Amino acid sequence: MRSRLHSPPERPMERSTVSVNAIVKRAGSIGEYWNGLRLFWRAQILGWGFFAVLDLVYQQLIYHDFGIAASRALPTVLSLVVVSTVLHSVYASRRFEGGLTRRTVTWILAWSILAALPLAILVFVADDVLDWSAPGRDPVDDFAFPLIHYSIVLCGWSLCYFWLRAEAAKQAAHRHAIRAEAQALRARLEELRLQLDPHFLFNALNGVAEEIPEHPKAALAMLRDLTAYLRHSLDGIHQTVVTVEAEVAGLSAYLGVQRARFGDRLRTTLHVDPEAAPRRIASFLLQPLVENAVQHGNRDHGLDVGIDIRAAGDRLYVTIDNTGSLDEHAAPRRHRSGIGLENVRRRLALHYPSRHQFVLQQAETGERRVIATMILEGEPCSAP
Residue 96 has a CB neighbour count (10 Å cut-off) of: 19
- Establish how many alpha carbons lie within 13 A of residue 120's alpha carbon, considering only the half-sphere containing its beta carbon: 22
Judge contact between 321 and 369, C-beta under 8 A.
yes
Residue 216, in any domain of the structure: yes
Long-range contacts of the stretch 75-80 (C-beta < 8 A, 24+): 76/119, 76/123, 76/150, 77/48, 77/51, 77/52, 79/119, 79/122, 80/48, 80/51, 80/119, 80/150, 80/153, 80/154, 80/157
Task: State percent of the chain over pLDDT 70.
Answer: 77
Name residue 305's beta-bridge partners. Answer: 268, 322
Residue 238 has pLDDT above 50, yes or no: yes
Residue 9, in any domain of the structure: no
Residue 360 has pLDDT above 80, yes or no: yes
Same domain for 126 and 83: yes
Same domain for 368 and 244: yes
What pLDDT score was predicted for residue 271?
95
Same domain for 279 and 239: yes
Residue 46, in any domain of the structure: yes
Count of structural domains, the chain: 2
Q: Which of 243, 239, 309 is nearest to 278 (CA)?
A: 243
Alpha-carbon span 348 to 285, nearest angstrom: 8
Residue 2, in any domain of the structure: no
What pLDDT score was predicted for residue 1?
46
Q: What are the residues whose beta carbons fall under 8 Å from the beta carbon of 254, sequence distance 6 or more? A: 225, 229, 287, 290, 291
Q: Which stretch of DSSP H or E encloses residue 315?
A: strand 315-323
Same domain for 372 and 228: yes
Interval 109-155: pLDDT, tens: 888 888 888 888 888 888 777 777 666 667 777 788 888 888 898 88
Name the pTM for this structure. 0.52
Alpha-carbon span 233 to 239, nearest angstrom: 10
Alpha-carbon span 255 to 369, nearest angstrom: 19
What pLDDT score was predicted for residue 332?
45
CATH no. for residue 235? Answer: 3.30.565.10
Q: Which of 266, 238, 237, 268 is nearest to 251 (CA)?
A: 268
Q: Is 323 helix (H, G, I), strand (E, B) or coil?
A: strand
Residue 280, in any domain of the structure: yes
Average pLDDT of span 155-179? 83
Same domain for 63 and 131: yes
Judge contact between 359 and 372, C-beta under 8 A.
yes
Residue 321, in any domain of the structure: yes
Judge contact between 279 and 244, C-beta under 8 A.
yes
Same domain for 149 and 30: yes
Which of 123, 150, 182 is at the close of a domain? 182
Residue 234, in any domain of the structure: yes
Return the higher-pLDDT residue of 85 and 4: 85
Alpha-carbon span 132 to 146, nearest angstrom: 13
Q: Which of 332, 311, 296 is nearest to 248 (CA)?
A: 311
Same domain for 149 and 223: no
What pLDDT score was predicted for residue 199?
61
Which of 159, 182, 205 is at the close of a domain? 182
Same domain for 217 and 319: yes
Average pLDDT of span 182-191? 66
Q: What are the residues whose beta carbons fall under 8 Å from the beta carbon of 127, sequence distance 6 or more? A: 133, 142
Q: What is the DSSP string of 351-372?
A: HSTTSEEEEEEE-SSSS-EEEE
Same domain for 160 and 206: no
Alpha-carbon span 355 to 349, nearest angstrom: 8
Structural domain including 50 reads 14-182
Q: Which of 232, 322, 346 is nearest to 284 (CA)?
A: 232
Alpha-carbon span 303 to 293, nearest angstrom: 9
Same domain for 279 and 221: yes
Tell me the residue type at 96: F
Task: State percent of the chain over pLDDT 90.
Answer: 15
Interval 239-287: pLDDT, tens: 778 899 989 988 888 888 888 888 888 899 999 999 999 999 988 889 8
Interval 6-57: pLDDT, tens: 555 555 555 555 566 666 666 667 777 777 777 778 888 888 888 888 888 8
pLDDT-derived band at 349 (thresholds 50, 70, 90) equals: confident
Alpha-carbon span 360 to 321, nearest angstrom: 9
Average pLDDT of span 62-77? 83
What pLDDT score was predicted for residue 240?
79
Dihedral of alpha carbons 202, 205, 208, 209, sign: negative
pLDDT-derived band at 229 (thresholds 50, 70, 90) equals: confident
Q: Which stretch of DSSP H or E encloses residue 319?
A: strand 315-323
Same domain for 227 and 136: no
Residue 335 has pLDDT above 50, yes or no: no
What secondary structure letter does DSSP report for 321? E
Same domain for 354 and 228: yes
Instruction: Kindly tell me the burial class for residue 318, based on how many C-beta atoms sit within 10 Å of its own C-beta (0-12, 13-18, 19 or more).
Output: buried
Residue 372, in any domain of the structure: yes
Interval 276-290: pLDDT, tens: 999 999 888 898 899
